[in-house]
Structure 1
Amino acid sequence: MKAWVHEKTGDPDVLQLRDMPKPRPGCGELLIRNRAIGLNPVDWKFILWGHDAWSWPHIPGVDGAGEVAEVGKGVSHIGVGARVAYHNDLLRPGSFAEYTVIPARAAIPLPQSLPFAAAASIPCPGLTAQQSIGKVPLWPGAHVLVTGASGAVGGALLQLAREKGWIVHAVASASQADRLLKLGAATVTDYRTEGWKDAWKRRTQYQPLHAVFDMVSGAHAASLAPLLAANGHLVCIQDRQETAPLPAFSTTISLHEVGLNAMHGHACDHQWGRLVAAGVDMARKICEGAFDPQLIETASFEELPASLSRLKAGPNPGNRVILL
């Protein structure tokens, strides 16, 4: 098979297109013939950083969509030819190839009418947003703030939060305001506006915030903790809180970290079943026109490193997908 591999860490231009042995699925696994590959920030970050668990040359990539080409032993719930999307463990050989082996429990069944390009946008952005939403037990009408809202995860989160009946306030570039309002934001704050955090602090005296979803950094999230009402929720989608950002027994907020890859090493089958069901629901809603997959670029397999470089350079108001 053809695969994009790297033998050293670096920018996306370290990737090389090579002939590699086509893998075989083991017990509880599926071999997927990839038809589309979803590109994500975690891809270029780990190409840059590397990981001790990898063997070289390494095939990166966590998201893909395609058809089941072979079924491993012990798998009975899905068969050859089934259309699926998946998020694969970043420690394993990944999706930047014509074929990828995945855990069978990670396969998201797809409707026949769903294009593979849209399907490849579901796993990392959509399921990360779903995990984030699931962290907080809020009610319809609750007010939440979403920073970094213009990215792929932010756009998915806006749509899921709107379905919950939450009132969502987005923080992003002013140029993305119209798009974010269509996705479900009630208001949009330009992050470039000087003193916007202070303005929000004054605003919360009259309208409390019940959750903050931050996609910038742990330090940035900590700076937003004072905006939360009593028993509020601070959800870090980039980084985490190593120390409590507020004094003990003040507003008694809850701290949450989000990392989709943790599912591969630590989740039970029941958790996977719930996550896959959420992916199936997103796929159905895309077909019905009720969920925007936010596709901003589709490129060929040969263009993968260049597309990944564009993702790294940004901005990325949506998803970049590779078609095979």
Structure 2
Amino acid sequence: MTNIKSQSWCWIEKGEPEKLILKDQTVRQLEEQEVLIENSYIGLNPVDWKLISSGGANWKKNHIPGVDGAGIVIKTGNKMKHIQLGTRVCYHADLNKNGSFSTHTITNGKNIIYIPEKVSDSTAAAFPCPCLTAWQSFKKVPDVVNKKVLVSGAGGSVGYFLTQLLIDAGAQVYVTSSKKHHQKFLKMGVLNAVDYNLTDWKNVLLQSINHNSFDIIFDTVSGIHATGLMNMISYYGHMVAIQDRVKENTLPAFTTCISLHEIALGAFHTYASDAQIADLMIQGEKLLNDIGNSKFNLRDLNISDFEQLPRHLAELKNNNSEIKYVIKV
């Protein structure tokens, strides 16, 4: 199999998603630890438009963005011959290398998740970035059983999946989100859902827990937003900042002694050991199995065509992550 041709949405310069250019390319030769995936679906995520806007640290003209995709393995490097051609997989691409916005993607064969039979390719493509991020966030805290937990900004894909993990583990979960999500959250077992558009949403939230404190807060908004919530955490509690890093603990020393946690799924490509990567991929497959068996659910997907990718990425940016787009290749 030589001279495989691909179509790819290429990054030319910092700016809006509409500046991506569709180009025909020849797929390069694989290195020994790599596999070539023929994509069937591509998942769009906020990190995609953010990097298109700012440019990745190692990005050059004609870089292919995109972190999430799903398809079949059509070629393997010499050290990946154990992976059967035609195997259905999904993946989270290394941000420093060409990604999923293409008909074909090359990735390290160690970084793929096998798609269970009950899970569609479209669901699998929507899975890696938000759900593995939610899983890593969930695992930062040693014990959530019967703990009062707040998921701040739960309406996005990460918060939506994280909320389900927490409820399943026995946490007492409260969320903030736009009002349109409230009934769905309450139906899944959230104790109270508060609209973050209210001017006094913090007070409304604290009233629901009798003006006590939360044991754990997961914030999906920003580092600044997370910092503003730290005084709502109880003694020896936890702040898990998913969207950004909390640079310092602004609370007085030797008081509530809360722990600060940062999350960066994409860093596993550079910093995780082979054992850690293998564990993350295995966990990903288990979670996909749970989705296939209806234990957990993804947000409703909006599926569109490959030619519409830049437009939908711009809509994702302008709608502040309220829509989950999946692109059919």
Query: Same fold judged by TM-score > 0.5?
Result: yes
Q: What corresponds to 2:49 in structure 1? A: 44
**What's the CA shift for 1:14?**
0.3
**Aligned in 2, Cα 1:193/1:249: closer, same or farther, shift over 3 Å?**
same
**What's the CA shift for 1:40?**
0.3
Q: What corresponds to 1:190 in structure 2? A: 195
The answer as to 2:248 corresponding to 1:248 is no
Following the alignment from structure 1 to structure 2, what is the Cα–Cα distance between the partners of residues 28 and 251?
A: 47
What do you get for the CA RMSD once the two structures are aligned? 1.6
Out of 144, 162, 169, the position equivalent to 2:167 is: 162
Aligned AA (1:192): N
The answer as to 2:280 corresponding to 1:275 is yes
Following the alignment from structure 1 to structure 2, what is the Cα–Cα distance between the partners of residues 142 and 31?
A: 44
Aligned AA (2:277): W
Out of 107, 110, 125, the position equivalent to 1:105 is: 110
Asked if structure 1 preserves the Cα contact closer than 8 Å seen for 2:194 and 2:205, the reply is no
The answer as to 2:128 corresponding to 1:123 is yes
**Aligned in 2, Cα 1:316/1:181: closer, same or farther, shift over 3 Å?**
farther
Structure 2: runs of 5+ lacking an equivalent: 1-5
Aligned partner of residue 191 in structure 2, secondary structure: strand
The aligned runs of 1:1-324 (5 Å cut-off) are 1-201=6-206, 207-317=212-322, 319-324=324-329
Aligned AA (2:168): E
**Aligned in 2, Cα 1:184/1:130: closer, same or farther, shift over 3 Å?**
farther
**Aligned in 2, Cα 1:122/1:307: closer, same or farther, shift over 3 Å?**
same
**Aligned in 2, Cα 1:209/1:76: closer, same or farther, shift over 3 Å?**
farther
**What's the CA shift for 1:86?**
0.3
**What's the CA shift for 1:207?**
4.4
Asked if structure 2 preserves the Cα contact closer than 8 Å seen for 1:23 and 1:99, the reply is no
Following the alignment from structure 1 to structure 2, what is the Cα–Cα distance between the partners of residues 227 and 8?
A: 42
Asked if structure 1 preserves the Cα contact closer than 8 Å seen for 2:90 and 2:125, the reply is yes
Asked if structure 1 preserves the Cα contact closer than 8 Å seen for 2:64 and 2:100, the reply is yes
Name the stretch that deviates more: 205-214 or 80-89.
205-214
**Aligned in 2, Cα 1:30/1:184: closer, same or farther, shift over 3 Å?**
farther
Asked if structure 1 preserves the Cα contact closer than 8 Å seen for 2:217 and 2:240, the reply is yes
Structure 1: runs of 5+ lacking an equivalent: none
Q: What corresponds to 2:3 in structure 1? A: none
**What's the CA shift for 1:291?**
1.6
Aligned partner of residue 129 in structure 1, secondary structure: helix
**What's the CA shift for 1:202?**
5.6
**Aligned in 2, Cα 1:202/1:242: closer, same or farther, shift over 3 Å?**
same
Name the stretch that deviates more: 281-290 or 258-267.
281-290
Name the stretch that deviates more: 279-288 or 190-199.
190-199
**What's the CA shift for 1:189?**
0.8
Aligned AA (2:70): A
Deviations 1:251-295 (CA, angstroms, capped at 9, x unpaired): 000000111111011001111122112211121122112221213
Asked if structure 2 preserves the Cα contact closer than 8 Å seen for 1:33 and 1:66, the reply is yes
